[in-house]
């Protein structure tokens, strides 16, 4: 019985070792095919040349237009108080005043809301004291 167990364990160990060997071979094959240093070095040289070319191009800076005059004009208009009134937005054209938006309606709505909140509070208060 012991011999049988030993032979079975040996076979299992051999199978595992074979799988490990196959895995190692696959990993080594990948490493050999992907690491080609000469092509990496040539790409690096090309990249350095491109960067040098970009850095060597003279940067042409646009001359700033005199903005002091326009800045002063804008500030004067903003703070003078004589600026023209803006026209009403186009989405407001043709809209009529609705009675639900009057002050009296709004006050009634606020009163109803307060009464409703007070009623809820009293119901909660009664439930808590029971």
> pLDDT digit string (tens) for 57-80?
776 666 665 555 566 777 777 777
Domain that residue 25 falls in: 2-55
> What is d(CA 95, CA 91) in angstroms, rounded to the nearest whole number?
8
The structure's pTM equals 0.26
The answer as to whether 64 is a domain residue is no
Let me know if residue 74 belongs to a domain: no
Which secondary structure element, helix H or strand E, spans residue 40, and what is its range?
helix 37-56
Q: Is residue 118 part of a domain?
A: no
Q: Is residue 62 part of a domain?
A: no
Would you say 105 and 99 are in contact if contact means Cβ atoms under 8 Å apart?
Answer: yes
The answer to whether position 99 is within a domain reads no
Question: pLDDT-derived band of residue 13, with 50, 70 and 90 as boundaries?
Answer: very high
Predicted local distance difference test score (pLDDT) of residue 103: 85
The pLDDT of 31-50, averaged and rounded, is: 78
By CB atoms closer than 10 A (0-12, 13-18, 19+), residue 61 is exposed
Query: Between 22 and 69, whose confidence is greater?
Result: 22
Is 25 part of a structural domain of the chain?
A: yes
The count of domains in the chain is 1
Give a yes or no: residue 60 inside a domain: no
Residue 109 within a domain: no
Q: Does residue 111 register a pLDDT over 90? A: yes
DSSP codes, 112-129: HHHHHHHHHHHHHHHHHH
CA distance 83 to 77: 6
């Amino acid at each position: 019985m012991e011999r049988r167990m030993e032979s079975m364990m040996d076979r299992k160990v051999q199978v595992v070792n074979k799988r490990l060997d196959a895995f190692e071979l696959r990993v080594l094959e990948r490493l050999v095919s992907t690491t080609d240093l000469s092509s990496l070095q040539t790409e690096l040289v090309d990249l350095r040349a491109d960067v040098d070319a970009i850095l060597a191009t003279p940067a042409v800076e646009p001359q700033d237009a005199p903005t002091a005059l326009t800045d002063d004009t804008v500030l004067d208009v903003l703070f003078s108080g004589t600026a023209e009134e803006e026209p009403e937005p186009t989405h407001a054209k043709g809209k009529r005043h609705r009675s639900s938006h009057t002050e009296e309606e709004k006050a009634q709505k606020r009163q109803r809301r307060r009464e409703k909140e007070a009623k809820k509070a009293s119901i909660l208060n009664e439930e808590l004291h029971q």
